[in-house]
Each structure stands twice: as structure tokens, then as C-alpha cells.
Amino acid sequence: MKTDDWLTTAKHLLPNGKRIIISTLALIQVLSELTDLKRYLDNGESLLEANNLITGH
């Protein structure tokens, strides 16, 4: 699934009383992944979980 698919799915679940938490990649490696992360942050309707950051150290 692509970013738009996940965001659309989240929007469909919100009216049903679901709390949406989107989990991101642990390590951003390319610009497109960073762009997707920004879109998830900017949606304003769901929580964002920073995945296991220890893998980046």
C-alpha cells in the first residue's frame, strides 16, 4: 500500500471511533521515505509512532 492508501484507510476508520496510530520506518534512507513521513505528520488526524529508533544508532 502507498501513503495515500494508508491515509484513506485511516480516514474511513476514524468515524467508527477507532484511534489510528501510524508506525513509521525505523531508518529513513531515501528522500521519498522522508516525504512520506512528512505527509503522515501533516495529516493531523492520526497519531504517529516513531518506530524502534535504536536501530538508527
Domain range annotation of the chain: 3-56
Query: Tens digit of pLDDT for each residue in 1-54?
Result: 888 898 888 888 888 888 888 888 777 889 998 888 888 888 878 888 877 655
Contact 28, 37 (CB under 8 A): yes
pLDDT confidence of 56, banded at 50, 70, 90?
Answer: low
- Which CB contacts under 8 angstroms, 24+ apart, belong to 1-8? 3/36, 3/39, 3/40, 6/40, 7/39, 7/40, 7/43
pLDDT on residue 27: 77
pLDDT on residue 14: 85
Show the cell assigned to 53. Answer: 529508533
